[in-house]
Amino acid sequence: MRPAVHLVRPAGVDDPARPSGGNRYDRQVAAGLGAVEHASTATVPDGALALVDGLCATPGLVAEARRLRVVVLVHMPRPEPWEGEVLRAAAGVVTTSRWTRDLLLARDGLDPDRVHVAEPGADPAPLAPGSAGGGALLTVGAVTALKGYDVLAAALARLDDLAWTCHGVGSTAIEPELAGRLGPQVRLTGPMTPAELGTTYAEADLLVLASRAEAYGMVVTEALAHGLPVVATDVGGVRESLGGGGVLVPAEDPAALAAELRRWLTSEQRRAELRAAARARRAGLAGWDRTVRLVADALEVLS
């Protein structure tokens, strides 16, 4: 019989005002594993198996790893000098991308046998039909510099001679000063419920992701589940999530992003090519059941 899993996850994992890929991942894994949820390791009983979201990790987790069987779930590596020590003290690590695994192995000198990958899943979704002109652009993610909203706005400013709209779905409360100075290029909607976001994907032509950093980029596979092509920056694990379902451009390069968007907006052949690529990728996406199985397999090995 598998031991009970105790998931230590951030507060606000179900906050509709601040949806995130990490929160969704935690919720899916908790449900799939039937995990007991905690806000900190303090309430996890001695000797138990604790799957700890990396956002909840602190230097004190080194001591807790002597009391508990700790496995750290790393969504995004943190630039903290103590993170490596915490990960080395843990029984093991689960990452959400191969890119993150490779980074941690190189940076922190971890034992490769103790670092496992469980990529996020994607829910099945109806196919977005797309419009003839392809002008309905969409970006999804909290309005922050990390998500590159300023880069996207600068790229779109170079396309004033073309017909398009761009909606930005995500919280404006994290970096309100950035949201306030973005200008008219991106029409900010704030966060949406899953149903509202599904409708928005269905009405869009292209997902644009201008992030400066992504461990995986769940929004990419969410869009691809609708057969929606993607133009994204080549950062972190985005190449893994994209899987040929769109095109990559350099990060922090508004000119390169604008050039790719211009190509999309002005070439019927290009739109057809990327739509075919997105639909091919859509057919091969795995669901959350695979993610849960990979996490469960890792915990069995590490416990």
Q: What is the mean pLDDT of residues 76-96?
A: 96
- Tens digit of each residue's pLDDT (9 = 90 or more) over 226-284: 999 999 999 999 999 999 999 999 999 999 999 999 999 999 999 999 999 999 999 99
49-53 and 69-74 beta bridge pairing: parallel
For residue 14, the model assigns a pLDDT of 66
**221 φ/ψ angles, rounded to the nearest 5 degrees:** -70, -30
Q: What is the mean pLDDT of residues 68-91?
A: 96
* Closest to 232 in 3D by CA, of 135, 155, 178: 155
- Tens digit of each residue's pLDDT (9 = 90 or more) over 99-114: 999 999 999 999 999 9
Average pLDDT, the chain: 95
5-121+287-302 against 136-283: fold identical: yes
For residue 200, the model assigns a pLDDT of 97
Which residues, other chains included, contact 196 with Cβ-Cβ below 8 Å and sequence gap of 6+?
Answer: none
For residue 118, the model assigns a pLDDT of 98
For residue 303, the model assigns a pLDDT of 78
- CATH for 136-283 is 3.40.50.2000
Q: What is the mean pLDDT of residues 28-33?
A: 96
Domain segments of the chain as ranges = 5-121+287-302, 136-283
Whether pLDDT at 137 is above 70: yes
Whether pLDDT at 150 is above 80: yes
Whether pLDDT at 16 is above 80: no
CA-to-CA distance for 237 and 249, rounded, in angstroms? 14
Share of the chain above pLDDT 70, in %: 97
pTM of the full structure: 0.93
Share of the chain above pLDDT 90, in %: 93
CA-to-CA distance for 261 and 135, rounded, in angstroms? 10
Judge whether 150 and 178 are in contact, CB under 8 Å.
yes
Whether pLDDT at 11 is above 90: no
For residue 88, the model assigns a pLDDT of 97
pLDDT band at 23 (very low <50, low <70, confident <90, very high): confident
- Tens digit of each residue's pLDDT (9 = 90 or more) over 177-227: 999 999 899 999 999 998 999 999 999 999 999 999 999 999 999 999 999
- Tens digit of each residue's pLDDT (9 = 90 or more) over 167-189: 999 999 999 999 999 989 999 99
For residue 13, the model assigns a pLDDT of 65
CATH topology of domain 5-121+287-302: Rossmann fold (3.40.50)
For residue 3, the model assigns a pLDDT of 79
